A and B are shown apart, each in its own frame.
Chain A
């Protein structure tokens, strides 16, 4: 499993498609797949932070859900925006979203065999 993080508009998906080949991956936008029908292709979760945000807003348990997902998809690639480098917002949902995303990314990074940070379209391996 691989984790790609970086700021908004840094070219993270393009970087992944270029590196792993567009034809070898199946890209999911801000959502997790719930079946294994596309098992022959590497599952890419793009805008993973949006999925966390939605689950937080819906009162779900994203930490637990991610754990189950990762057990099923051991070779997936998760792409998430870095959202924590700003002023902590006043709105409770916004705060929970940032905190939860940060904690989950740590959890994913611990399990990932590779973590890359993309800045200006350039990947830097940080794990």
Chain B
């Protein structure tokens, strides 16, 4: 099953993503992987990553840092049933777009990420993707920022069409946007 979770900053989307991964894997022999797309630049980032890792540790996640080339997680996981939590598209898209000398074109960035997510999705039992709602402030940023937002918009739309469930999280409350099969229990 694939689930897309979207929300604003501090909305509780990460915590909901973790809960979802845990309940999808509960009582089963599933390995849980947390794919961190954030690139660590400094001590502050390092601290944040360590804190998040400690918060997750009791829940049995194995952390893989994968700031670009998401499909490479396939080389880093063990065989068997796997639940993946990818956090998050805004980091992955920024890393893919701005890692080179010049920014990668937005649709090329989007297609690369979508293609790699599709590839990984076929190899795992559950894939949960966390994304960010960065689309509603009405600000006309400079061109590269607008292109970055366009890439994220494209990725979110495509992931939403692939997903069995799409959930928006607001104030920690999950709101179902799409539910492919109503027989699947909600959690």
Contact = CB atoms under 8 A, between A and B. Distances in A.
A11 B136 contact: no
Contacts of B4: 120
Interface residues of B, number: 24
A121 B138 contact: no
B83 interface: no
Given A9-B150, A9-B152, A122 B138 contact: no
A38 B178 CA distance: 35
Contacts of B156: 10, 120-121
Contacts of A85: 8, 133, 136-137
B31 to A, nearest CB: 28
A59 interface: no
B159 interface: yes
A9 B135 contact: yes
A121 B160 contact: yes
B90 to A, nearest CB: 13
B139 A9 contact: no
A84 interface: yes
Interface in A1-42: 6-11
Contacts of A121: 156-157, 160-161
Contacts of A87: 137
Contact of B177 (A49, A81, A83, A124): A124
Interface of B: 4, 6, 8, 133-139, 149-150, 152-154, 156-157, 159-161, 166, 168, 177-178
Given A9-B152, A85-B8, A86-B139, 5 more contacts: A7-B153, A82-B135, A84-B136, A120-B6, A122-B160
